[in-house]
Amino acid sequence: MEPVPAQPRRYTVEEYIALEEVSAQRHEYFEGEVYAMPGASATHHTIRQNCVISLRGSLRGRGCKVYDEGMQLAVSEGRYYTYPDVMVTCHPDDQREERVMRHPVLIIEILSPSTADHDRSWKFNQYKQLPSLQHYVLVSQHTCLVEWFRREPSGVWSFTPLGELTDTLELPELALTLRVADIYDEIDIAPMRAQPPVG
């Protein structure tokens, strides 16, 4: 007889929040299950810091907060909680929170080979359910490529790939411009190939 595989432990949201308060490692929560989040490379950390520095400098004194991967986001209350690499919120309810944000206007995720497909598809599909979210930005660590998704007034998400250091993201909801060159500051990043690799 085949052994019955062990069922993963299921947590209440309250148990998960309590776990995160004492854990040295961050975890995602989805429908009762808890998943350890992987570590990050030095390049990932530098890109994240560049984004935070650029955004914080532009938003200082304007009632918006910039958070990095240490701040939790309730994507779907009671169902899905995670830690975006970078997020910006200007919502007054979030200004009073200490641990969990709920109303981001901008989310940035820095891609790695193990997370790229997940961040681009499943996670984006979850994030799109946030009514406040206007911009979702994916940043490659290995080539100069920023993938910018914008919620248009119609509710449809548009897509703009930015592959030059001179490119910019215009974010009217935040009244700022984010330069690709600033995202990759101090990173020896490879340019996008003019042609896809053969084979």
Q: What is the CATH number of the domain that holds 63?
A: 3.90.1570.10
1 pLDDT exceeds 60?
A: no
Residue 21 counted as domain residue: no
Residue 4 counted as domain residue: no
Mean pLDDT over each residue of the chain, to the nearest integer = 91
Among 189, 195, 125, CA closest to 157: 125
CB 138 within 8 A of CB 115: no
Structure tokens at 9: 């432990």
Angle at 105 between CA 191 and CA 73, to 5 degrees: 95
* Whole-number Å distance between alpha carbons of 161 and 143: 12
Residue 6 confidence class, pLDDT cut points 50, 70, 90? low
Residue 95 counted as domain residue: yes
What is the tally of structural domains in the chain?
A: 1
Instruction: Tell whether the torsion through CA atoms of 160, 166, 172 and 173 is positive or negative.
Output: positive
Work out the percent of the chain whose per-residue pLDDT is above 70: 93
* Whole-number Å distance between alpha carbons of 75 and 79: 8
Q: Across-strand partners of 98? A: none
* Whole-number Å distance between alpha carbons of 173 and 181: 21
* Whole-number Å distance between alpha carbons of 19 and 14: 9
Residue 93 confidence class, pLDDT cut points 50, 70, 90? very high
| Structural domain that includes position 116 | 39-183
Residue 9 counted as domain residue: no
Residue 112 counted as domain residue: yes
> Over the stretch 139-198, which tens digit does the pLDDT of each residue have?
999 999 999 999 999 999 999 999 999 999 999 999 999 999 999 999 999 887 655 555
- Detail the DSSP E strand segments found in 5-156: 27-30, 33-36, 65-68, 72-76, 80-82, 86-89, 100-101, 104-110, 135-139, 146-151
Taking the alpha carbons at both ends of the chain, their separation in whole angstroms is 46
Among 152, 157, 133, 148, CA closest to 180: 148
Which pLDDT does position 162 carry in this prediction? 97
pTM of the model: 0.90
Q: Element (H or E) spanning 1, and its range? A: none
- Alpha-carbon Rg for the chain, nearest whole angstrom, is 18
CB 144 within 8 A of CB 159: no
Residue 15 counted as domain residue: no
Which pLDDT does position 101 carry in this prediction? 97
Residue 143 counted as domain residue: yes
